Amino acid sequence: MGQELPFERRREIYVDVTGWDDINRIEVLKNNEIIHRQFPKGSCASNWKKPVILRLEYGWGRFTSEDVYNWDMEIEVDGGKLIEYMPGFQSGPYEEIRRDRISNVTPNGLCLESFTSRRQGLREVPTKNIALKLQANPDTVVNLKLQKPSKMVVRKKLSELAKGNDVISTTKAWSSPSFIIGRLAFADNYKSRFLVIDTADRQRENWYYVRVVQENGQLAFSSPIWVG
């Protein structure tokens, strides 16, 4: 972990970040103090020539219930291409038999089997999620074909999801298991590359690292680099 470099008075720090959601800010720290803060472009940026990221979050259910809900769905991409995916599973609730599974992955979509509960949810968050990186255009349609927790089909055009998310309940009850098809993240919002120049003398050894904060609250840190 990390790296050590010989002393140089002038330091050029190249930062290249790719997230799985809109990035709120990127911070470069020296000796644990922020020396530069970078903000990606505003959330209205939309460049369909580069891949977009779509996040599906599912779970919830009755507030007082510790029931475990099974999820079984097929996600189809019509008029676009699935390039990559990133699961956002958590360990709770502990189950002997149930497992989170992703299968039948093709450029046209994938299948997802999962389960959620308010019981043992990390930080009391009773959801899981999966993010899809798509090569797409405004007319691309994502089809969600659910078998569990209830049978339903949802079709969403990406031009709609570029404007905002959609919250869908699996039954008519307001406390039923639900899922959110998130607002699209465009490359200008989830990627950033820049250069920071810093100088220092030989009075002390310096160390640098990068901290990234996504809009969804997730953080990432680079390994530190010592210069001395």
pLDDT in tens, 154-203: 999 999 999 999 998 988 776 789 999 999 999 999 999 999 999 998 77
Res 16: pLDDT: 97
- 35 compared with 228, residue with greater pLDDT: 35
Res 152: pLDDT: 95
| 69-115: pLDDT as tens digits | 999 999 999 999 999 999 999 887 888 889 999 999 999 999 999 99
Q: Which class in CATH covers the domain with range 3-45+188-227? A: mainly beta
Indicate the Cα dihedral angle 188, 193, 194, 196, nearest 10°.
130
User: How many CA atoms, within 13 angstroms, populate the side-chain half-sphere of residue 25?
Assistant: 7
User: Are the CB atoms for 26 and 38 separated by under 8 Å?
Assistant: yes
**All residues at 6 or more sequence positions from 168 whose CB lies less than 8 Å from its CB, including other chains:** 154, 178, 179, 180, 181
Please tell me what DSSP assigns to residue 185. Answer: B
CA distance 40 to 35: 17
Res 12: pLDDT: 96
| 3-19: pLDDT as tens digits | 888 888 999 999 999 99
User: How many CA atoms, within 13 angstroms, populate the side-chain half-sphere of residue 135?
Assistant: 6
CA distance 146 to 209: 43
Domain spans of the chain? 3-45+188-227, 52-185
Specify the DSSP element, H or E, that contains 187: helix 187-190
Alpha helices by DSSP H, 89-181: 158-161
**Nearest of 117, 24, 29 to residue 69 by alpha carbon:** 117
**Nearest of 159, 157, 155, 135 to residue 84 by alpha carbon:** 135
pTM value is 0.89
